[in-house]
Amino acid sequence: MRLRNISGSRDVIAESPYVVQEPQQYRGRWAELFGNPNPIFIEVGMGKGQFLHTLAARNPANNYVGIEKYSSVLLRAIQKMETEELPNLKLLRMEAEELTAVFGKGEAAGIYLNFSDPWPKDRHAKRRLPSAEFLARYDEITAEGAKIEFKTDNRALFDFALEQLPRSAWKADVITYDLHADETLMQGNVMTEYEEKFSAAGNPICKYVLTRRL
Ligand code: SAM
């Protein structure tokens, strides 16, 4: 998802109270930043923020951090906060490869990946957010009992994501190839922007939920 480069978006981000500037300085101290010890959930590749904003509004006893690499996209998440400010949601403009420089060991309670970019060329496989390389980063920054939840309509990416698991610390507790047809899994499901678009087009949505192997 790359919107037109919206002029001035970098300035808006630099001045926004909803965006954490220089997030590395909070490594190991995110509870201080939020002002409470509540669990912290991270969406990697948040896009315009609909999913995380809804989740944060519904769950005030949790904290949420949305990570997005493009300023023009992050701007949309900032605008949602301007319309409805939430104290338990922080936004970061950063490249997800830097996750372990920004979050300390075990600092996150869970990770959400929604409609991650497919990076279809083999030589770019390590850039895919559900790759074994990224799963190792999530392992480092998440607490005991953490879950990773991944949704996509891209079957090739989903199959790749499942193939990565034996090379990782994670196992799948839930796998579905048609989330919207599963009444139980749909309970409490929060739709992302892409999920709305692709499910409306008739694409089945795949989802897994991972927990750590012993
Ligand atoms: N999660 C949203 C949804 O489901 O509607 C957005 C999906 S969009 C296809 C993927 C988003 O992830 C884009 O906005 C992209 O810029 C962001 N993204 C992809 N790779 C990233 C990375 N390595 N670090 C940070 N953001 C990333």
Residue of 41, 54, 115, 124 with the most ligand 1 atoms within 8 Å of its CB, for mutation: 115
In the chain (214 residues long), the average pLDDT of successive 10-residue segments reads 65 95 98 98 98 98 98 97 98 98 98 98 98 98 98 98 98 98 98 98 98 93
DSSP H/E element including 74: helix 71-83
Is the minimum distance from the CB of 194 to ligand 1 under 6 angstroms? yes
Q: pLDDT at position 4, please?
A: 53
Q: pLDDT at position 8, please?
A: 82
Q: pLDDT at position 5, please?
A: 60
Q: pLDDT at position 9, please?
A: 87
Instruction: State yes or no: is 178 an active-site residue.
Output: no
Q: Tell me, in angstroms, the distance from the centre of ligand 1 to residue 31's CA.
A: 25
Helix or strand or coil: residue 160?
helix
Q: pLDDT at position 22, please?
A: 97
Q: pLDDT at position 100, please?
A: 98
Give 54's DSSP letter: H
Give Cβ neighbours of residue 172 (< 8 Å, ≥ 6 apart).
162, 165, 208, 209, 210
Give φ, ψ of 110 to 5 degrees. 180, 165
